Structure 1
């Protein structure tokens, strides 16, 4: 690939505002190691998976150019530095690192369009809606879990967006969004116990589930508004999920997509389970929208 043809500015993105279609111009086309093609546009509504924290999957959808339609089989973060393009898991730095350019790489199976071609992006709206609902419910569930575990702490620790001890932030290992739900995995080991977490709270999970689900029901019934605040349109701009809950608004860093109101969720419930792992306990929280 020619360094001169590589993008020099970050991709502008519209998916944080809920956009599911966009028109952009091709700034680079890359042949990928697996034989597929990566298409980089100057702007896009397509949400890519972030390999650094791959909680929300990439959108599904199509690219339309030169009278043809190409299915997007994947979408990942790309990064340019010193004349080289790194794609997906090969990106060696965090998004936003100084002196790097960050992009959305739309992966297609066929040959890509020429640089400068106008491309229309169309996102699968139903799949996006289901992922957005799952992501919003995931944030609510993490806050509800933090609140339900308040009495399990014997020391002062950092607080979450609503002022409860931040179990989610301190113990999270993985988070995976799926249509209309999510699965979060937490690990409680020696370091968290030293911070003051009493693992006997997990001896009976039923009261924790009841508290969390009661809180979730109250929040969803409030039909609170949800939005993404961001500094600008670049993919590197800081973004925050903001939910205007009845007693206190919540604001959490987030790069995903969301519904615009909790009224869109229906019923949100969590179920908890634990297992013993080396050096501690693993807690799994499954969040479901029904």
Structure 2
């Protein structure tokens, strides 16, 4: 299968439409996979499946799924999602956006159209997720007894230290943090956390309200158009520009969120903290 290199992607710039040459088609279970040279579709990333895949059409056909694929140079088999046997960027492999449809794509060049409202809702959720993580870091800063890596605002990075899963949903996100022995050894104190959760959420929400009102700019820095490019989310918050590695989609200003709020829940055994973020 002559793919000719990794798929080029335009979604980091906010694109939702495009036209491109078809470079490969192949069966995917009982469905059909199509790879094009360049796409506006954001696929599900199997390595950190936080943001769901875009929906829309390719060549007029509904896209039932959109996933990451990889094929070794000179080989015919396209590996999909968790079946990919190598790390992203491994030399000799092409990394692909695979559009899955119920019917085969037969044209050699196709129009691609992402459902714009669905994309915007996920972009709002992802932007709010990053802001919420920064606000939570600030609200929990006083619970650290040891020095740990700091986030872009100088607070101990609880989010990156403790997170076990993150799921972007339309207009929000659900993030789960592990409060186990490993985190305590690193210096985090969970003593009395349950009783203090309302106050912690209040502190985080006050920051979020301030950041949304600031109408801060948001942008994605990408070193190239390839799917494998390591992209970074940036936000010019009051007093500091922050950055977080991220391959998702986002809004362009914090004011577009309307409002952001978090709710915090602790599991009965105190081992997990769940943060639910809503925007709008």
The answer as to whether partners of 2:233 and 2:244 remain within 8 angstroms in 1 is: yes
The answer as to whether partners of 1:6 and 1:85 remain within 8 angstroms in 2 is: no
Shift of 1:267: 1.0
Structure 2 distance, partners of 1:99, 1:199, is: 46
Shift of 1:89: 2.2
Structure 1 distance, partners of 2:98, 2:2, is: 12
Shift of 1:61: 0.2
Shift of 1:163: 1.3
What TM-score do you get using the length of structure 1 for normalisation?
0.93
Shift of 1:112: 2.3
Shift of 1:6: 3.5
The answer as to whether partners of 1:52 and 1:94 remain within 8 angstroms in 2 is: no
Unaligned runs of 5+ in 2: none
Shift of 1:201: 4.9
Q: 2:204 aligns with which of 212, 215, 221?
A: 212
Q: 2:53 aligns with which of 51, 58, 62?
A: 58
Pairwise mapping of residues 23-172 of structure 1 onto structure 2 (< 5 A)? 23-33=19-29, 35-64=30-59, 69-82=60-73, 83=75, 84-113=77-106, 117-172=108-163
Aligned length: 277
State the match for 1:9 in structure 2: 5
Q: Does residue 251 of the first structure (1) align with residue 251 of the second (2)?
A: no
Secondary structure of 1:200's match? coil
Shift of 1:108: 0.3
Shift of 1:289: 1.1
Deviations 1:126-185 (A, max 9, x none): 000000000000000000000100000000011112211010001101100010000000
Give the stretch that moved more between structures: 196-205 or 245-254. Answer: 196-205
Deviations 1:104-143 (A, max 9, x none): 00000012225xx111100100000000000000000000
Structure 2 distance, partners of 1:112, 1:23, is: 14
Q: Which runs of 4+ in 1 moved over 4 A?
A: none
Structure 2 distance, partners of 1:38, 1:259, is: 29
The answer as to whether partners of 2:194 and 2:266 remain within 8 angstroms in 1 is: no
Unaligned runs of 5+ in 1: none
Structure 2 distance, partners of 1:98, 1:274, is: 43
Shift of 1:276: 3.9
State the match for 1:177 in structure 2: 168
**Cα RMSD over matched residues?**
1.1
What TM-score do you get using the length of structure 2 for normalisation?
0.96
Shift of 1:258: 0.2
Structure 1 distance, partners of 2:259, 2:9, is: 31
Structure 2 distance, partners of 1:176, 1:94, is: 22
1:199 and 1:42, CA in 2 relative to 1: closer, same or farther beyond 3 A? same
Shift of 1:246: 1.0
